[in-house]
Each structure stands twice: as structure tokens, then as C-alpha cells.
């Protein structure tokens, strides 16, 4: 269960939940805004495997991560609303960053949608079920790559600032997977440090903002009414 949720959900209907809200006032605001369904990929639902043969079947080891990230400095995300670039924080969260790069390279994210969009909060993607299911459906937000791995707490100096990119999880150890989110505002005072920060959007922030403004189904799931599709991801090196 994602941290701090004030609403009870069964395993089938709680694909996501809000991060911990640290003040009583913020909790009331979050409840009023219906944020009880944001940021954690539910670990209680079955995690379907993807059918892409080239994709990894486990998270990289530390040695593998170093090799994977040796020629990976950023990831360009092409979406149906435009393109943005994520600068990777390889040293801050090497396993999460390398896992993201590996999934991007094998095409895992292609045709997956941003299944959760909460204005002034986050946009979230990475559920492979949305490749074939558009709109709202039972179990949305519960999918992953077929494996999970350890959460890397945010490194010193890294915060949940606007355009920070972090892993979604089930608020329990070893529940990182493929789902990630981008902060639409400075959320450092609203999130417990339970989500691995592995990058930041450094180009195309206007596209991220545009995704954050799309119309959604609203509480409780915030699914975009018109799918925002990841058309491709390209891993790039600065050298």
C-alpha cells in the first residue's frame, strides 16, 4: 500500500496510492483533492510479464548497472504530446537508472501510456497493461516488468523537486519495477523519502506540463480521458 493513504482499497482497485503527506493540513488538502491514488505500483496484484524477448527478466546487479550506464547519460522520451529529455542520476540510484535504461533500450515502454495524471502533483507511467488497454480498466497501475527490486533511498542532495523523476513502488522494500513518475511541482515536503530518484527532466518541461494538464477521469484514479502514449524512448550518451 502506498504511504499515507487515508482511504482503504482492496487489492484489485488500489493500483496506486498517495505518498506520505506529513502535515495534518496537507493530509486534509490531499483528501479533498482526491490524491489517495497516486505514486505506488500496487504489489498485491499479479505482476504480468511483458512479451518482449530482449527485455531483462531481473534488475541489474551493481556491476551490470555500471556497464549499462557507461554509455547512458540521458533518455529522450517521445510521447503523443511531444518530447522531453531525462538526465540520469547514475551515481544517486544506479540500479534504478540502469533498470530504466535497459527497459527503454528493449522497447518495454513503447506504446505504454501515462496512466495516472494528477494536476500540480505527478504524471506516472510504466504499466505494460496500458499497451493494449486504453482508458480506465480494472487493475490499471498494477503492472510491471515481471520482477521487482530494492528501493534505493534518495541520495543526499536529491529532492522531490519539480521535474524530478523517481520510481513508483508499493511502499515496501524490494518493490521497484518499471513504473516511474515525474513531479509537476516541488513535492519534497509532501513525500516521504521512499521513492528512488534516478533523474530529472532537463529539456521539454513544457511537454511534461502539457501532460499534467490533460483531462482525466478524476477521483479516484485520474486516468487521462485521451491516452498520452509513449511512442519511443532513446538512450543517449554525452560522449
pLDDT on residue 63: 98
Structural domain count, the chain: 1
pLDDT on residue 136: 93
In a domain, 170, yes or no: yes
In a domain, 130, yes or no: yes
pLDDT on residue 144: 97
pLDDT on residue 76: 98
pLDDT on residue 6: 27
User: Based on C-alpha coordinates, what's the Rg of the chain?
Assistant: 16
Contact 101, 235 (CB under 8 A): yes
Q: How far apart are CA 62 and CA 108, in angstroms?
A: 21
In a domain, 87, yes or no: yes
In a domain, 15, yes or no: no
The β-bridge partners of 122 are 118, 183
In a domain, 165, yes or no: yes
Q: How far apart are CA 166 and CA 56, in angstroms?
A: 20
3-class secondary structure per residue, the chain: CCCCCCCCCCCCCCCCCCCCCCCHHHHHHHHHHCCCCCCCCCCCCCCCCCCCCCCCCCCCCHHHHHHHHHHCCEEEEEECCEEEEEEECCCCCHHHHHHHHHHHHHCCCCCCEEEEEECCCEEEECCHHHHCCCCCCCCCCCCCCCCCECCCCCCCCCCCCCCEEEECCCCCCCCECCCEEEECCCCCCCCCCCCCEEEEEEECHHHHHHHHCCCECCCCCCCECCCCEEEEEEEECCC
Averaged over successive runs of 10 residues, the pLDDT of the chain (239 residues) comes to: 29 33 40 45 47 88 97 98 98 98 97 98 98 94 96 96 97 95 97 96 98 94 97 93
Residue 227 sits in which domain range? 24-236
CATH code of residue 196: 2.40.100.10
This model's pTM is above 0.85: no
In a domain, 99, yes or no: yes
In a domain, 13, yes or no: no
pLDDT on residue 3: 32
In a domain, 186, yes or no: yes
Amino acid at each position: 500500500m502506498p504511504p499515507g493513504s487515508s482511504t482503504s482499497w482492496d487489492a484489485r482497485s488500489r493500483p496506486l496510492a498517495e505518498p506520505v503527506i506529513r502535515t495534518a493540513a496537507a493530509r486534509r488538502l490531499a483528501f479533498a483533492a482526491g490524491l489517495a491514488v497516486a505514486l505506488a505500483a500496487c504489489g498485491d496484484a499479479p505482476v504480468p510479464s511483458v512479451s518482449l524477448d530482449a527485455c531483462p527478466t531481473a534488475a541489474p546487479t551493481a556491476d551490470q548497472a555500471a556497464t549499462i550506464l557507461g554509455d547512458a547519460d540521458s533518455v529522450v522520451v517521445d510521447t503523443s504530446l511531444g518530447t522531453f529529455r531525462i538526465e540520469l542520476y547514475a551515481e544517486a540510484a544506479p540500479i534504478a537508472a540502469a533498470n530504466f535504461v535497459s527497459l527503454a533500450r528493449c522497447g518495454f515502454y513503447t506504446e505504454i501510456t501515462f496512466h495516472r495524471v494528477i494536476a500540480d502533483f505527478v504524471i506516472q507511467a510504466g504499466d505494460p497493461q496500458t499497451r493494449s488497454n486504453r482508458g480506465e480498466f480494472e487493475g490499471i497501475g498494477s503492472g510491471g516488468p515481471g520482477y521487482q527490486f530494492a528501493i534505493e533511498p534518495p541520495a543526499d542532495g536529491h529532492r522531490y523537486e519539480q521535474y524530478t523523476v523517481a520510481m513508483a513502488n508499493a511502499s515496501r522494500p524490494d518493490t521497484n519495477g518499471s513504473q516511474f513518475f515525474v513531479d509537476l511541482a516541488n513535492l519534497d515536503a509532501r513525500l516521504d523519502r521512499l521513492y528512488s530518484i534516478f533523474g530529472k527532466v532537463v529539456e521539454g518541461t513544457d511537454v511534461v506540463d502539457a501532460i499534467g494538464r490533460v483531462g482525466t477521469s478524476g477521483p479516484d484514479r485520474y486516468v487521462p480521458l485521451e491516452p498520452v502514449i509513449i511512442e519511443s524512448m532513446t538512450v543517449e550518451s554525452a560522449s
